[in-house]
Amino acid sequence: MADSEVLHAVHRLEFPYSRSTGPIIGAFLTGLRDGMFYGATGSDGSVIVPPTEYDPITSDDVGELVEVGPGGVVTSWSWVSHPLRKHPLQTPFAWALITLDGADTAMLHVVDAPGPEALATGTRVTARFRPAAERIGSMADVEAFVVEGGAS
């Protein structure tokens, strides 16, 4: 049998999950849709971003939500030279842990930077939100973080 006679097909396996957010994550996502970040106040006074539903130390409900960011500091990062189709950006970018101003925990997101030389631990970045009409209440409402004062 010639190679051309061997069949070939694209198979797609998809699970269209829809999750309930609950009051805390829901408030965080509502904030993203409104173009801002919220963190939850923990029992020790720390601000947790993204907010957890329960205090990580006492397991009690977390305290009030406070606005944080939109600027922050890169605490750790990894450069992606060859983005894959499912990555949030199709140009080279960094996955980064970012501690937003006013927060005590770091959040994973992407940094759109011209190259790895533009990033270092401690680099200040700020969120680039999508236009309001495109935001739906999702982490992807933040298109990327960009280096403060940088070219991109």
Partner 1 sequence: MADETTDLGPVTTLATPIRLDFDFTPGVAQSKFLRGLEQGKFMGQRCPTCDKVYVPSRGSCPTDGVPTTEDVLLGNSGTVTTYCVVNVPFAGQSIEIPYICAQVLLDGANLSFMGLIQEIPTDQIRMGMRVEAVWVDESDLTPSLASVRYFRPNGEPDADYETYKEYL
Contact pick of 57, 108, 120, 132 for partner 1 (by CB under 8 A): 132
Q: Which one, 5 or 64, has the nearer CB to partner 1? A: 5
Q: Does 90 engage in binding with partner 1 (CB under 8 A)?
A: no
Mapped onto helix, strand or coil, the DSSP state of residue 133 is helix
Stretch that binds partner 1, among 19-27, 40-48, 101-109, 114-122 (CB under 8 A): 19-27
Do residues 103 and 72 make contact, with C-beta atoms less than 8 angstroms apart? yes
What lies within 8 Å, CB to CB, of 134 at 6+ separation is 141
Site for partner 1 in 21-40 (CB under 8 A): 21, 25-27, 29-30, 33-36
Give the rounded distance of the alpha carbon of 118 from its chain centre. Answer: 19
Q: Does 20 engage in binding with partner 1 (CB under 8 A)?
A: yes
In the numeric block, the tokens 């996955």 are attached to 95
Mapped onto helix, strand or coil, the DSSP state of residue 109 is strand
Q: Does 84 engage in binding with partner 1 (CB under 8 A)?
A: no
Contact pick of 56, 63, 70, 114 for partner 1 (by CB under 8 A): 70
Torsion angle of C-alpha atoms 85, 106, 68, 147, degrees rounded to 10: -60
Binding residues (CB under 8 A) for partner 1: these are 1, 5-21, 25-27, 29-30, 33-36, 70, 132, 135, 137-138
